A and B are shown apart, each in its own frame.
Chain A
Amino acid sequence: MKAARTMTDLAGPTDRNTHAHTDPIKTVTKEPIMDVQMNLPSDEHAAAQRAKVEELQRRRAARNPANATASLNSAAGPTRGAPARHSPALGSKIAATGFGLATMFGLVAAMGYASAASASTPPANTVAPAQVVVVIHPADGSAPTAAVTGAPAVVAGAPAVVTATPSQPIALTAQPTVRPAPVSQAPAAKTNGSK
């Protein structure tokens, strides 16, 4: 209840202040200028009133140039300017929006920093290597099996890694030893490539 009363108290003076502030303008704009001018007496009092109205019009025009002419020339009634202050609800919305934007920009900045940190070393290969499917058919005629393995390494200069089991094993012996050939009568072979 105290809160409600406080709200009422707050609203009262605000409305009153608004009315007090806008009454002179409302009076003037409710009545067409021509009517005012036609009803104005020709004595000093009337001249003073007209001067006062003109002074008020100038002030209003200075405060809101766009509405000045309209309010003076329109028969549709006055056009109020922007409220003097926002309501508490609107302020909360603005604050929430601001907080949300700040949070969003913070998250974007954090993600950008993390992305930049992880990209400090460029990837060796930007194309994802293809999967290798090796189909093995057993010699006994049973159903073939398929094994998915990684694609061969593509790093330049790096030793290759055999990633798939060949369907037919190829026997390899150890790396041969090489030594200078002695003077010999034994037959020798030659290598020179695609002779």
Chain B
Amino acid sequence: MEANERPPVAERPVVAERPVVAERPVVVERRSRVMASSLHLIAMGPSAEVLERGLDNAVEHLEHLERCWSRFIPTSDICRINRLGVAGGGPLTVDPSTIALLDAMVEGYQRTAGRFDPSVLPAVLAEGYTSSWVNPAVVVEVPDQPTAWSAGLLHDIDLDPAANTVTVPAGLSLDPGGIGKGFAADIVVGRMLAAGATGAMAEIGGDLSMDGTSPDAAGWLVDVERPDPTHGLLCSLAISGGGVATSSTRSRRWMVEGVERHHQIDPATERSSTTDLEAVTVIAPSGWLAEVHSTAAVGIGSRGVLAYLEGHGFSGIAFVRGDSSARMTADLADIEQRPLVGA
């Protein structure tokens, strides 16, 4: 046998190979559905068993959050808050995660100067989004409220994290919508890391949260789809962490008396937004923050959307209706846009 020839398999040092396998990080994935949306979990760590337990825990907790936050489950905290909001009152005891969600809602409203407003549920219902997207038999009804909705009601919520209670003003009704998904993704990523993962990512309905060591050294890999998925991917990004969210006017559309409506409500008009943007993807420090600003950015329209995102220090991609190419913030200038397919 020559010096540079590889030794026969039988002569390999078997003992030396096992530590290499044991030290190699394990990556586990799980795909499911939760909150009437797609669910994708990725966790990385030294032990597959530990990671699987972490994923189990994450899924269970997501189901718990859905029971707390769904506006289609009558016993949820959100439904109880909305019933209380007919005349206003409290304190109402809720899950600690609901207190945190309400706190994020208020902060999101402030950070977007009111462009993100989860208290526009009456407008959502008036536009026709009354039944569950998954089960149309489940219909949401908010009783006629003696106090009409008005912008800024969110500020009058009184939260007591020590007692886990909330007191709501008259006229308030909430639709957690997108912020619920982004916030839930942030929560379960934290839980997966606490359960032993060295890195974790959660995607719920296009809202992503990721933290820790990524499976690829370049970062967490995120494919940005075009608003019409049949047109293929726009680009692939490697992100160091934080959150990604896409708000779209293409999804969750319906017809009312021959007029197409969608779930992106403009708080100023209380109607489906008439924006010329089909979708906006935002990359931010957390999932809920990305969701809040993507919702706000969609309503701004193509003229000011990039200035809005850059003004807040976020990276973002805007899809203009009828435009095959997307517009990106300046920091994404070296991102290559893939050609449109299937058009």
Contact = CB atoms under 8 A, between A and B. Distances in A.
Nearest to A163: B110
A76 B340 CA distance: 110
21 contacts: A135-B158, A137-B159, A137-B163, A153-B113, A157-B304, A159-B311, A167-B159, A170-B100, A170-B286, A176-B219, A176-B240, A176-B241, A177-B219, A178-B315, A181-B216, A182-B216, A191-B206, A191-B223, A193-B248, A193-B250, A194-B247
Given A157-B311, A193-B251, A182 B110 contact: no
Contacts of B225: 190-192
A137 B159 CA distance: 8
Contacts of B236: 180-181, 188
Interface of A: 130, 132-135, 137-141, 144, 151-160, 162-164, 166-168, 170, 172-182, 184, 186-195
B46 interface: no
A188 B223 contact: yes
Contacts of A187: 27, 29, 42, 215, 221
Contacts of A154: 113-114
Interface string B240-255: 1110111110111000
B40 interface: yes
Contact of A160 (B113, B163, B235): B113
Contacts of A166: 103-104, 106-107
Query: Which of B236, B304, B314 counts the most A-chain CB atoms under 10 A from its CB?
Result: B236
Contacts of A190: 40, 203, 206, 222-225
Interface string B279-321: 1010111101100001000001000100110011111000000
The 4 closest A-B pairs by CB, nearest first: A193-B248, A181-B236, A188-B221, A176-B242
Contacts of B71: none
A188 B203 CA distance: 10
B72 interface: no
A83 B237 CA distance: 100
Contacts of A184: 216, 218, 221
Contacts of B313: 175
Given A134-B155, A178-B237, A194-B263, 13 more contacts: A159-B312, A174-B285, A176-B239, A176-B242, A176-B283, A178-B238, A180-B336, A181-B222, A182-B238, A187-B29, A190-B225, A192-B226, A193-B281
A191 B208 contact: yes
A135 B236 CA distance: 43
Which interface residue of A158, A178, A179 has the most chain B CB atoms within 10 A? A178
B196 interface: no
B178 A194 contact: yes
Which bracket fits the contact residues of B?
A: 35 or more
Given A157-B308, A187-B215, A192-B225, A168 B100 contact: yes
Nearest to A138: B162
Contact of A133 (B156, B161, B220, B304): B156
Nearest to A188: B221
Contacts of A163: 110
A189 B218 contact: no
B69 interface: no
Output the residue of B160, B214, B279 with the most chain A CB within 10 A.
B160
Contacts of B312: 159-160
Interface stretch (B2-10, B50-58, B75-83, B327-335): B327-335
B93 interface: no
B25 to A, nearest CB: 11
Contacts of A164: 106-107, 110
A135 B261 CA distance: 37
Contacts of B246: 191-193
A21 B209 CA distance: 109
Nearest to A146: B158
B208 A168 contact: no
B114 A179 contact: no
Given A159-B311, A186-B214, A180 B162 contact: no
Contacts of B223: 181, 188-191
